[in-house]
């Protein structure tokens, strides 16, 4: 069984005012924050899926 954590939870470094203030511009911060969106997380799962079972069709998974 394979489990994973959503970005920004578990062992990830939490975002704070201090960490976000390290970005030089609002655009740079927005570019970083887009990786925490659900569509980016789905893309990560798809990346893993096609490498584990390249010829398989789409997976149906359940998460909570």
End-to-end CA distance of the chain: give it in Å, rounded.
15
62 domain-assigned:
no
Tell me the C-alpha distance between 47 and 34, whole Å: 17
| pLDDT tens-place string over residues 3-33 | 444 565 666 677 788 888 999 999 999 998 8
Q: Which of 19, 18, 45, 46 is nearest to 32 (CA)?
A: 19
60 domain-assigned:
no
Q: How confident is the model at residue 1 (pLDDT cuts 50, 70, 90)?
A: very low
9 domain-assigned:
no
Please give the pLDDT value at position 2: 43
The pTM (predicted TM-score) of the whole model is 0.52
Domain count, the chain: 1
Going by C-beta distance under 8 Å and a sequence separation of 6 or more, which residues neighbour residue 33?
A: 15
| Domain region containing 33 | 20-52
């Amino acid at each position: 069984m394979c489990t994973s954590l959503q970005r920004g939870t578990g062992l990830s470094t939490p975002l704070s005012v201090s960490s976000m203030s390290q970005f030089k511009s609002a655009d740079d911060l927005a570019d970083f924050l887009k990786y925490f969106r659900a569509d980016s997380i789905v893309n990560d799962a798809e990346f893993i899926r096609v490498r584990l079972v390249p010829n398989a069709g789409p997976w149906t998974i359940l998460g909570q």
